[in-house]
Amino acid sequence: MSWALTQAISPRPSVRMAVTDASGEVLNLYSRTHPITQDAPTEPWAVNLTDSQGLYRLLAFDFDAKDASSQAQAAKDADALSRLLDAEGIAHVVCASGPTGGRHLWIALAEPVSQQLAADFTESVKLISPTLDPSPLANPATGCVRPPGAPHRLGGTSHVLRGDTTCLTHPTVTAEQLTAVATKINQANPTTTQTVERTTTTLPVDETGNVYLPGAKRALPAVSAAALAEGAPSGGDASATLWRVLIGAAAARWQFSDIATHLGASPGLEHARTIRVAHGSQLRRPRPARGPGNPTAVLRAQWLRAVRHVAVTPRQIGEDPTFDMRAETLADYVSLVQARADSNVGRWIQGGGPADRRVLDVLCMLALQALNVELEADIRRLALLAGIGRETARTALLRLAADGWIKHTQAADGPHGSRWTIDPQDVLHREVDSARSQAVPRPPGAGTAKRTNLLAALTTRSTSAQRDVYSPAHGLGLHAGNIYARITEQYFHEQSVLALPRHDARTIRRLEEHGLIRATGHGWIPTTNEALDRAAVSLGVAGNLADREARYTLEREVWGWWRTEQEWMKSAGRQGRRKRPTVAQPTLAFGTSWDLYPAYPRTIRRGDHHAAVAAVRAGALSHLQAA
């Protein structure tokens, strides 16, 4: 009966069979084929999801369960998707995949759908399904899943829990229904509103001493542009209108000088020019031309607040109509970079290779955060994110550039670090845009969902590798951390330890010996954070990363303080200004950026950096962390 169902639903004249290794172990790797016109295979089999033209006839969602906790989550994820499909009238079948507790959810299509729509739908489902393994749907050529009734390599079979298999043999689901479900998920899921995060720990300062967000300047979002041109309605809140203009300008990568040119007459900046004569009154009077309350000072103070707000606060994708397209374009390119890196396994194993791969992954992660292939790379921040030293991060950048993975685009200049691009050949738009089909209707938010999922995967990978136990000196080493961070990825699901390259196999055995991973029917999985901590203590490397972070944070704060002091020294007319506060006095929360800092400690002729370090340790800049 199970083979008859397979023959009825298979989009191709053959199925794929599991591979057996030299020891007789059946692997989770389906590289052999078996004609459907013959008797059922003796090994586990899987059906392709696409036909011979590469169009999807079936969608199969594989919810992995590797241990007791993930079994419950896999069931929960399958149930959640099943409820969404029921609400849209989409017929489907939910199966228990075998003895490990995983789930398969099947949809048969009344009409073939494009690879693009299948990918969009999968990215949307991934947003709400942490246990989803998207790999079967990510490869139109070889992606396959065991159908209902097919045997599992560890025993048992895939059996139906909910639904009628006749919906697979007589499909009714349309592309429009899939688009509707994907749209609903994208609009409901808050992670699709995640936007650009800061690319530098300390905000850069322009030549006038005002902060800004790095990146290419864009047109104001429509809401902000309307507020700037129209101002507040009669009796409306002029301060709220000013705020709407400023946060849009900051997000569009404007600088203070760009917005200051509108101060003279633009209705949206009325709050900076005038003030209400009394609470509740609609009458306004001009602000004083001089003093701390003058229009320029008010605008500068509000600009500082707006830039800081945008730097740390998510914004809705609807505020920027180009966001979804830009998110997808960059996510597609980063995927290409990662695929190329994955295919060059030997490049990342020996010498500085493990550190280079970590830095490349972090650069890809930061590019997705900033929505820009060109980044200002602070080597201290790179080092902390990659779990390596700053000198190691610096040399990794140079090696990656020498091998063509990245390119240096701008030298460090004052408060700005060196700039690097992960698109050294400038192929982003040429290759990605030409490969994307423009004819297929797309679910709104599809590009943002793709970026969110890829960003989450790279963030998890980088975070997992940042452990004391993987310290290069006395610890297990960077390569062991890289393997650990990828241990749940598809590559390791498809291999036995005997089939792995010798270097990886040896590393996996070391991870097992220290109790950091364990083998399951679906490959290896991490054990516990406590095991990582115990191993770090036993190897004498506990606390290495925390000590490095504290040291780099201190260095960065002192450097930022000194750079602000240099800006103040270069500013015009500083001798005629009020006396600046010292480290023992409170600082102000308005005016230029250097008003937020006390005067830098000095000897007779130069800055006293040792005293500055001591002052920062004593809390002289703690007000900036709370601001």
Q: How confident is the model at residue 435, as a pLDDT?
A: 44
Least confident of 20-29, 185-194, 265-274: 185-194
Q: Is this structure's pTM higher than 0.85?
A: no
- pLDDT, position 426: 84
Distances, alpha carbon 261 to alpha carbons 2, 296, 309, 432, in Å = 73, 11, 22, 38
Assign 568 a pLDDT band (cuts: 50, 70, 90): confident
Q: Rounded to 5 degrees, what angle do the CA atoms 212, 215, 220 make? A: 75
For residues 15 and 160, the answer to whether their CB atoms sit within 8 Å is no
**Amino acid found at 49:** L
Look at residues 129, 69, 51 and name the one whose alpha carbon lies nearest to residue 94: 129
Kindly report the length of the chain: 627
Q: Is 176 helix (H, G, I), strand (E, B) or coil?
A: helix
Query: Mean pLDDT over residues 82-96, rounded?
Result: 95
Cβ(103)–Cβ(74) below 8 Å: yes
Give the model confidence (pLDDT) of 370-426 as tens digits: 888 988 888 888 999 999 999 999 999 999 999 999 999 988 776 567 889 999 988
Q: Which two tokens stand for residue 487?
A: 């241990």
Percentage, residues of the chain above pLDDT 90: 41
Q: Residue 625 has what pLDDT? A: 54
Instruction: Give the per-residue pLDDT at 231.
Output: 82
Angle at 109 between CA 108 and CA 112, to 5 degrees: 135
Q: Which of 310-314, 324-328, 581-585 has the lowest mean pLDDT?
A: 581-585
Place of tokens 């040792």: 610
Report helix, strand or coil for 170: coil
Task: Kindly give the pairing relationship between strand 274-276 and strand 159-162.
Answer: unpaired
DSSP state for residue 26 in the 8-state scheme: B
Query: What is the Cα–Cα distance from 501 to 513, expressed in whole angstroms?
Result: 18
Q: Sign (positive/negative) of CA torsion 336, 338, 343, 344? A: positive
SS3 408: strand
Looking at the domain 2-188, which fold is it?
DNA primase, PRIM domain (3.90.920)
Determine which of 114-123, 129-138, 252-261, 580-589 has the lowest per-residue pLDDT on average.
580-589
CA distance 368 to 373: 8
Q: Look at residue 567 and tell me whether its pLDDT is greater than 80.
A: no
How far apart (Å, rounded) are the C-alpha atoms in residues 511 and 301? 53
Q: Please choose, from the candidates 49, 16, 68, 57, the residue with its C-alpha nearest in 3D space to the C-alpha of residue 134.
A: 49
> CA dihedral in degrees (458, 428, 184, 140; nearest 10)?
-80
What's the pLDDT tens digit per position in 437-492? Answer: 444 568 888 888 999 899 889 988 999 999 999 999 899 999 999 999 988 776 66
Question: What confidence tens digit (pLDDT) does each residue in 253-295 have?
Answer: 898 989 998 998 888 898 898 887 665 556 788 888 876 678 8
Q: Please state whether 569 falls in left (phi above 0), alpha (psi between -120 and 50) or beta.
A: alpha
What is d(CA 511, CA 517) in angstroms, rounded to the nearest whole number? 6
- For residue 611, pLDDT over 80 is answered with yes
Per-residue pLDDT, averaged over 85-108, amounts to 93
Separation between Cα atoms, residue 342 and residue 357, nearest integer Å: 10
Handedness of CA 14, 20, 22, 24 (dihedral sign): negative
CA trace torsion 299, 305, 308, 311 (10° rounding): -70
Phi then psi dihedrals of residue 29, to 5 deg: -140, 120
Predicted local confidence at residue 176, as pLDDT: 93
Q: Cite the DSSP H helix spans in 212-352.
A: 222-230, 238-251, 256-260, 270-273, 295-312, 323-342
The Cα–Cα gap between 337 and 341 comes to: 6
**pLDDT of 38 strictly over 90:** yes
Q: Give the largest CA-CA distance in the chain.
A: 94
What is the rounded distance in angstroms from the CA atom of residue 365 to the CA atom of residue 449? 15
Cα 50 from Cα 58, distance rounded (Å): 7
Distance, in Å, from the CA atom of 190 to the CA atom of 316, rounded to the nearest integer, reads: 9
* The predicted structure's pLDDT at residue 584: 53
- Number of H-type helices and E-type strands within the chain: 24, 16
Identify the three-state secondary structure at position 267: helix
As a whole number of angstroms, the distance between CA 321 and CA 318 comes to: 6
Q: Indicate whether 160 pLDDT > 90.
A: yes
* Cα 307–Cα 333–Cα 409 angle in degrees, nearest 5: 60
Q: What's the CA gap between 172 and 33, in Å, rounded?
A: 28
The reported pLDDT for the residue numbered 519 is 82
What pLDDT is attached to residue 626?
45
Crossing angle for the helix pair 446-465 and 478-485, to the nearest 10 degrees: 140
Could you tell me which residues are beta bridge partners of residue 20?
A: 26
Name the average pLDDT for the chain. 83
Range(s) within the chain of domains with CATH label 3.90.920.10: 2-188
Q: How large is the average pLDDT for residues 123-146?
A: 91
C-alpha–C-alpha distance, residues 501 and 271, integer Å: 66
Interatomic CA distance for residues 296 and 590, integer angstroms:
11
Going by C-alpha positions, the residue among 57, 60, 62 that lies closest to residue 9 is 57
pLDDT digit string, tens, across residues 196-250: 443 334 567 776 678 888 777 788 877 788 888 888 776 567 888 898 899 889 8
Judged by DSSP in three states, 117 sits in: helix
pLDDT in tens, 412-437: 776 567 889 999 988 775 544 444 44
Task: Evaluate if residue 67 carries a pLDDT over 80.
Answer: no
pLDDT for residue 352? 95
Would you tell me how many other CB atoms lie within 10 Å of the CB of residue 388?
29
586 vs 247, which has greater pLDDT?
A: 247
Mean local confidence (pLDDT), 160-187: 94
Q: In this predicted model, which residue has the larger pLDDT, 485 or 584? A: 485
Burial 181-196 (b: 16+ CB within 10 A, else e): bbbbbbeebebbbbbb
